[in-house]
Amino acid sequence: MPRDIEALVAQMTLEEKAGLCSGQDFWHTKGVSRLGIPGVMVCDGPHGLRKQDQTGDHLGLNDSIQAVCFPTACATASSFDRDLLRALGEALGDACQAEDVAVVLGPAVNIKRSPLCGRNFEYFSEDPYLAGELAAAHIHGVQSRGVGASIKHFAANNQEYHRLTCSAQIDERTLREIYLPAFETAVKREQPWTVMCSYNLINGVYASQDPWLLTALLRDEWGFEGFVMSDWGAVDDRAAALAAGLELEMPGTYGHSADAQIVRAVREGRLSEKVLDRAVARLLRIIFRYTDNRRAAVFDKDAQHALATQMARESAVLLRNRDRALPLTENARVAFIGEFAQKPRFQGGGSSHINAHRISSALDAAAGLPGVCYAPGFPADKDEANPQWVAQAVALAKESQAAVIFAGLPDIFESEGYDRQHMRLPDCQVALIRAVAAVQPRTIVVLHNGSPVEMPWAQDVSAILEMYLAGQGVGQAAVDLLFGRANPCGKLAESFPLRLADNPSYLNFPGDGDRVEYREGVFVGYRYYDAKEMAVAFPFGHGLSYTTYRYGNLRFDKQTLSATETLTVQVDVTNTGAVAGKETVQLYVADHTGAAVRPPKELKGFVKLSLAPGETKTATFTLDERAFAWYHTGLRAWRCAAGAYEVLIGASSRDIRLTGHVTLDTPPLPLRVDTNTRVETVLNHPLLAGVAQEYRDHAFPPDEREKTDVAKAAINEEMEHRTALEAPLRSARSFGQLTDEELQAGIDRFNRLLQGE
């Protein structure tokens, strides 16, 4: 039977209500036993359950229960697979139900602005559309099990350096187009039970106490219905945060600070008790949604290990495969080199660190292959060359048919809490890769890393398999892919620049410690590299396969559409190779209207198809107005300009297979004409063009235009033409024959036409 939340709130004392707005301890909310209000537990995620007791910590320094470590978001994003993310969410939800956890903290959807962010392994992508789609699928899976998800970190938490006190200085368009859409998609589509605010300030205001962010945007505009919680220790002013829309502060302060601040603010009249009542009601609805709908669940760790291994296989990206170096044959003599083959790095450090119940190494997985031999080559935990190990590895590689080097970043190189200082692999690994490649033409590198690395050795090796931080099944998954038991199908969810200096945030990351300027604006990741026509090591969306695919028969259900219509796009894809595979078909949109400065193209759809040899399937996309829109800061709204758009279908952002054009027949953008409006603006406006030409002919009679000062000063006709079009309307009184009164009459007439008079 439904709870009467308002009646419960009415029975609570001021102190009880204030108490519910902060945690009991590190992981539990408070309860009110006399009213039957229970406390509940929240736990870290998002790629596994990290359940600790109340003496635990949020940075992963102490052990949690044994659980299953799934691939981290940097890997799962490369699956481009909504179903896979939904399955991950379901598994996490089952584990939470079995362990009596009400809310799992994740997914994390902050954009990968720079490859140096220490927490990039926990984030999905540089692209907000992809991040939003995968986050929505993840949340759907978790919450289908009667457990809440907490999407994080809201918002603009794109670095670890001074993350608790640094202000992210971002213009509104950049926020709206890059750093907010993943949250927006997830909130509108899946209604996560909670949203976790970030530590940082945004344009000088702490995210924890920003009423625009937490109320005007999140609740009033997006329709969020759950409660907002703080990241651990993110609250600056508790009363201001509550007024802004932050219901729950974590962790608990044991009544010494937060609760007293709220009580005092209410009694002093600085905080309305109605605001507190509303916050408590929001908390109670979520608490009872969990406790009143508990269900039996089994945390089958072995079954989830199998899922984790499958996810690792589906997420791995084959970056390079010269002369079909892969797959290897199972009877070949193959040297496994690098300590990561024995001690894989499969997750990042910090609050998401999972106490994995079992770990599959590549050496374990290859135990049944008689031709596999091993040399440590270099240590997995530090950058330290061992000459004896190097000599042994080179000798082993030389006498083998192929060498597989298991390389990557040691734990100390990337973690929550600090950013990377560079994009390089450890020097000892780079030296060994080059030494082995010099004696073994069939050298394959398997990477274990949470973010892009520079690869000055890429042309020296035959194949590169990017495993990322692929969870506890990484070893089995890598061996399955290396030996062709599985076909790689991952695609990069981020661009790999050739060098760190190529990254668009290079000159503005991580800021001076107090402020970080997002001066690259909307040109993040491939949006920047494409606009600059810059070479990259591997582009966004790239990923090879052991088979080949043919794209064809691109078609649209209409060639012209209004703002209220949707466009259906279809394309046929055929597996033209000899083995089964999965191909992610990517759809990008390019705006050719010239109405705004925009990236050359932006991802607006993707479909993953499973294809047997010779099989053809159709990828279908549906595009709405938002797929064509940019955020107009003057109007503070999403807008599409009328005109031509290009739809591009590709296997990556740089491998476009098919293109087509459509026209948007949308109303003109709102306009208010004044003396500084440009001549070309009114001449090109469908409602104003006729009248504008009439005034132009009056101001500059056609038979006298060559006599004007502008015409006399022009070096050529193009200069005269462009100068005249780009001039403000007020130029008609300086260089033409309009009086002030005639100019103002014309402007008034334009504005009446725009208002439909």
DSSP per residue, 79-116:
GT-HHHHHHHHHHHHHHHHHHT-SEEE--B------TT
Strand-pairing partners, residue 616, are: 574
Residue (of 439, 426, 425, 361) closest to 393 by Cα position: 439
3-class SS of residue 689:
helix
| Measured CA angle at 257 (ends 254, 261), to 5 deg | 130
> What counts of helices (H) and strands (E) characterise the chain?
23, 27
Q: Which two tokens stand for residue 694?
A: 């009439």
CA 707 from centroid of its chain's CA atoms: 58
**Could you give the count of Cα atoms lying within 13 Å of 127 in the half-sphere of its Cβ?**
27
Residue (of 111, 116, 159) closest to 409 by Cα position: 116
Q: 163-198 b/e with 16+ CB inside 10 Å = b?
A: beebbbbbeebbbbbbbbbbbbbbbeebbbbbbbbb
Is 231 among the catalytic positions? yes
Cβ proximity of 397 and 403 under 8 Å: yes
Cβ proximity of 378 and 389 under 8 Å: yes
Strand-pairing partners, residue 355, are: 66
Strand-pairing partners, residue 149, are: 104
Q: Given 81, 127, 210, 231, which residue is catalytic?
A: 231
Please give the Cα distance from 622 to 608 (Å, whole number).
Answer: 15
Cβ proximity of 294 and 97 under 8 Å: yes
Residue carrying the six token digits 């320094």:
61
Please give the Cα distance from 310 to 554 (Å, whole number).
Answer: 32
Cβ proximity of 422 and 398 under 8 Å: no
3-class SS of residue 402:
strand
Distant-in-sequence, close-in-space partners of 426: CB < 8 Å, separation ≥ 6: 378, 382, 383, 409, 410, 413
Please give the Cα distance from 63 to 55 (Å, whole number).
Answer: 10
Cα dihedral 282, 287, 290, 294, rounded to 10, equals: -150
Residue (of 48, 45, 43) closest to 304 by Cα position: 48
- For residue 76, CA distances in Å to 152, 163, 467, 493, 546 come to 17, 25, 10, 9, 20
DSSP per residue, 468-517:
-S--TTHHHHHHHHHTTSS------SS-B-SSGGGSTTGGGSS-SSSEEE
Q: 506-528 b/e with 16+ CB inside 10 Å = b?
A: eebbbbeeeebebebbbbbbbbb
Which active-site residues does the annotation give? 231
